Structure 1
Amino acid sequence: MSMTSRTPRQPLPEQVESPARASPGPAEPAARGARLAAVDMLRLVAALAVASFHYLGTESPAYWGTAPTDFASPVHRMSMYGWLGVEAFFLISGFVICMSAWGRTPGQFAVSRLSRLYPAYWCALALVVLCMAVTVRGSGGLREAIAPRVVAANLTMAPGALHVEPLDGVAWTLWVEARFYLLMAVVLAFGFTYHRMLGFCTVWLGVAAAGAEMSNRVVGEIALTDYAGLFVAGIAVYLMYRFGQNLLLWMVLGLAWLFQLSEMYGRSSAHVLDTGSTQHTSWLVCTVLLTGFLALLMLATIGPLAKLQWRWLVTGGALTYPFYLVHQSIGVPMGKELSAHVSWLGPWSTVLLTLGSMLLLARLMNGLVEKPFGKLMRKHLAKGLNPPRVRAEAEAARAKAGAASA
């Protein structure tokens, strides 16, 4: 998931209005500015919503010793909608990935994403394997769960594509993100401009709609039909943020949102029913909640909340990715063990202790893994974009061409 949010340098009017004069290559990187702290906090809110779904949104008594319908009925009813946090992540990602990729080359964009996502993911995967070794009962089941092929496939961050069960329960969302990055990289190869991004969003929605109409799985997987409207809406908000609002952008945003809400209809209860729940969630409530989150994103980027610069918002946002990675695959087993061996705590105390522990673990991962190893990985990956021998060959080719033309 995307993670940085800073104010870019605003382009000159002629850079917006004259696509024919735009450079065919990528633009210069945008200037760094004030961080959009409220966007950071929205990411943490989305992660906490997903955690609420996994912790309290199901009827299973296996996690806390008692079913949430018994000890937290009102909270359970609200938590059933927590899966919308994933949809919110994709919406934010459309905005932030467009921002972070703008002005970069495809190689620079790839380095940014690889160094941002993999250190924490690999750390979380190691912790999940360790957790399974401690909590899985029966050596046969353990050997099957963490077989070398399973671990190898999971290290790629795309176990589902390799027909392997993910060790981290949220890995499927990272694969959706990765495919979004690939689509953005294709456009980035030509260079981001206002008009190219508008055209990309329009074509993407059209292909996604065609995939839905034909019920074509291949088209749907490539065009991310289930989530295309979220990513396009995020991109449209970013274009408003960078270039200003106009009716055309509002039309793109509106059509993307209507497409997404319609596409979400079939999933509005599926997430809950897949957990074995006997209850249903309302598509209308899902629509109101997700539209409310879109409104918050707009307030945080092109509205008054964009001015917020509270440090604690940024600090909280930094916990989002590692917390998201560990809250289910480590948090749920932890809750089960606490319920089984420290039952006197009671379900509510166990839930809160588990949540607090996962936030603390996320803080440690951010400080000890994400920041230092991400920086180191970014430094060495960047060197691979233009290694010395490649530079030497390029210089020799230029010198030869110069001598030939002299």
Structure 2
Amino acid sequence: MTDRVMQEPTLLLPPAQETGRRRGARSTSGRGRLAAVDGLRLLAAGAVAAYHYLGTPTPHFWGEDHDLAQVAPLLHAVSGYGWLGVEAFFLVSGFVICMSCWDRTPAQFAVSRFARLFPLYWSVVLIIVATGGVTVLAGQRSGAPTDLRTTLGNLTMIPGPLGLDFTDGVAWTLWVEARFYLLMGALLLFGLTYRRVVAFGFLWLILASIGRDLHSAALNEVLLSQYAGLFVTGIALYLIHRFGPDLLLGLLAGFAWCYTLTVLDDRIASHADSDWATGAAVLTGFLVLLALAGTGPLRHVQWPVLVHAGALTYPFYLVHQSLGIPVARGILKAAPGLGLLTSIALGLLASLLLAAALNGLIDQRLAPKFRRGLSAALDPTRTQQRPAQELPERRGLPGAAKPRSAPYGQA
């Protein structure tokens, strides 16, 4: 979810007292949501869904009898670049997570991310396991691993490092996001200022480049060398949104984007039907949209429909492949007369409806309680208050207080 931008004070402090502003920084847009950024998140999710439903080789999901390249060749070709929606997600995440970190403590940031990601993720994993178990009992092959060991590993959200397959096929991106959160959380321990975040961005790009040059799998995993440029570009755009443009931020964004387009060739290599020039153009187009939404005229757009669309992005992303495609495949098998494209449309509709239900039940009802519980557990005053009855009674001492039934400080 896109976090609110904090209103900044107009008092300018000297460099020694810098608290996150620098001289000449402009005021931000207050606490209003960046609705256009919310809309871009759903656009990225839609691109990934288009790739899975329409852009992958047809037999992978729909069988040899249905050839999308013949039925809708242009749609199939365009959707073949939908995998770039993942890169777009990481670009937006750099912007949004930097915004989320600012003016928060490490504990507050950790609670916000944990409560945002895990309740929905757990729900979807359990739904996939339950529906997969039903298909196995019905004598059909389940597309996702549903054994107990794999399920338990997936509930941690890090099955990959545990040597397990992903129950939800798109969840590998969450592990990438989680490592980015850890890097930002480490920076947050020192406090966020303009200078520190800019230095962090340049240092990250340098270290990621070294990791690639050394062909170090460990360094590349920790430093997210394949995606570092996307995250840093998003961070640079947020700094421009918060402080205004300047030469240093332009250099940071420029270097990060050059890095991104250079290493994009590695991702292109795993998508045989894509070429680098087209992929670079598509991704740069999304960068322009994010710049307009976060720092340009689109930042003033406040359409409620975009905010609602943003709220559906995460649940839709989680369910569209592992749950939506089996629905579309079942419709195609049960009613072949509807045709492939109609079945796909119904599968996407089912994914959106399930995402809306999960948003209402989990995101709006369970997640806030989860967040409050975590916040209460991490409240520093919690360990400083002890009920009076837990303290030893000073019997026989002059002026000794009698045991009280309520904690100190309460009537």
Please report the TM-score for the alignment, with normalisation by the length of structure 1: 0.88
SS of the residue corresponding to residue 195 of structure 1 reads helix
Q: Following the alignment from structure 2 to structure 1, what is the Cα–Cα distance between the partners of residues 382 and 318?
A: 39
Letter paired with 1:223: L
Comparing 322-331 with 144-153, greater Cα deviation is found at 144-153
Q: Following the alignment from structure 2 to structure 1, what is the Cα–Cα distance between the partners of residues 134 and 5?
A: 45
Query: Would the aligned equivalents of 1:62 and 1:336 in 2 still touch at CA under 8 Å?
Result: no
Map 1:26-41; keep pairs closer than 5 Å.
33-41=31-39
2:354 corresponds to: 361
1:90 corresponds to: 90
Matched, 1:302 2:295: yes
Q: Deviations over 1:51-101 (max 9, x none)?
A: 000001112235335121121211110011000000000000000000011
Letter paired with 1:44: L
Q: Following the alignment from structure 2 to structure 1, what is the Cα–Cα distance between the partners of residues 347 and 116?
A: 26
Q: Following the alignment from structure 2 to structure 1, what is the Cα–Cα distance between the partners of residues 360 and 293?
A: 26
Matched residues, number? 377
Query: Would the aligned equivalents of 1:135 and 1:333 in 2 still touch at CA under 8 Å?
Result: no
CA shift, 1:389, in A, is 4.8
Query: Would the aligned equivalents of 1:5 and 1:40 in 2 still touch at CA under 8 Å?
Result: no
Matched, 1:268 2:263: no
1:399 corresponds to: none
1:149 corresponds to: 149
Q: Following the alignment from structure 1 to structure 2, what is the Cα–Cα distance between the partners of residues 198 and 335?
A: 46
CA shift, 1:142, in A, is 6.0
Letter paired with 2:300: K
Give the one of 3, 12, 19 matched to 1:14: 12
CA shift, 1:364, in A, is 0.7
Query: Would the aligned equivalents of 2:6 and 2:103 in 1 still touch at CA under 8 Å?
Result: no
Gaps spanning 5+ residues in structure 2: where? 21-27, 387-411
Q: Deviations over 1:17-68 (max 9, x none)?
A: 61x32369xxxxx996111000000000000000000001112235335121
Matched, 1:390 2:389: no
CA shift, 1:282, in A, is 1.2
SS of the residue corresponding to residue 12 of structure 2 reads helix
Q: Following the alignment from structure 1 to structure 2, what is the Cα–Cα distance between the partners of residues 23 and 7?
A: 16
Query: Would the aligned equivalents of 2:135 and 2:141 in 1 still touch at CA under 8 Å?
Result: no
Q: Following the alignment from structure 1 to structure 2, what is the Cα–Cα distance between the partners of residues 260 and 11?
A: 35
2:245 corresponds to: 245
CA change 1:353–1:132 in 2 (3 A) is same
1:373 corresponds to: 366
SS of the residue corresponding to residue 61 of structure 2 reads coil
Q: Following the alignment from structure 2 to structure 1, what is the Cα–Cα distance between the partners of residues 320 and 143?
A: 23
SS of the residue corresponding to residue 145 of structure 1 reads coil
Letter paired with 1:246: D
Q: Following the alignment from structure 2 to structure 1, what is the Cα–Cα distance between the partners of residues 324 and 283?
A: 26
Gaps spanning 5+ residues in structure 1: where? 25-29, 274-279, 394-406
Letter paired with 1:188: L
1:197 corresponds to: 197
Map 1:200-211; keep pairs closer than 5 Å.
200-211=200-211
Q: Following the alignment from structure 1 to structure 2, what is the Cα–Cα distance between the partners of residues 61 and 123?
A: 29
Matched, 1:124 2:107: no
Map 1:105-116; keep pairs closer than 5 Å.
105-116=105-116
SS of the residue corresponding to residue 14 of structure 1 reads coil
Q: Following the alignment from structure 1 to structure 2, what is the Cα–Cα distance between the partners of residues 289 and 145?
A: 34
Give the one of 48, 51, 68 matched to 1:50: 48
Comparing 157-166 with 141-150, greater Cα deviation is found at 141-150
SS of the residue corresponding to residue 327 of structure 1 reads helix
Query: Would the aligned equivalents of 1:237 and 1:298 in 2 still touch at CA under 8 Å?
Result: yes
Letter paired with 1:217: A
Q: Following the alignment from structure 2 to structure 1, what is the Cα–Cα distance between the partners of residues 256 and 184?
A: 17
2:327 corresponds to: 334
Q: Following the alignment from structure 1 to structure 2, what is the Cα–Cα distance between the partners of residues 289 and 140?
A: 39
CA change 1:142–1:283 in 2 (3 A) is closer
Letter paired with 2:285: G
Which structure has the larger Rg over C-alpha atoms? 2
2:218 corresponds to: 218
Query: Would the aligned equivalents of 1:179 and 1:222 in 2 still touch at CA under 8 Å?
Result: yes
RMSD: 2.1
CA change 1:380–1:60 in 2 (3 A) is same
Percent of aligned pairs sharing the same letter: 47
Task: Determine which structure has the larger helix proportion and give its number.
Answer: 1
Q: Following the alignment from structure 2 to structure 1, what is the Cα–Cα distance between the partners of residues 197 and 34?
A: 22
Q: Following the alignment from structure 1 to structure 2, what is the Cα–Cα distance between the partners of residues 251 and 317?
A: 30
CA change 1:71–1:136 in 2 (3 A) is farther
Query: Would the aligned equivalents of 1:58 and 1:80 in 2 still touch at CA under 8 Å?
Result: yes
Letter paired with 1:195: R
Query: Would the aligned equivalents of 2:106 and 2:185 in 1 still touch at CA under 8 Å?
Result: yes
Q: Deviations over 1:177-233 (max 9, x none)?
A: 000000000000011000000110011000000011111111101110000000000
Please report the TM-score for the alignment, with normalisation by the length of structure 2: 0.87
CA change 1:136–1:285 in 2 (3 A) is farther
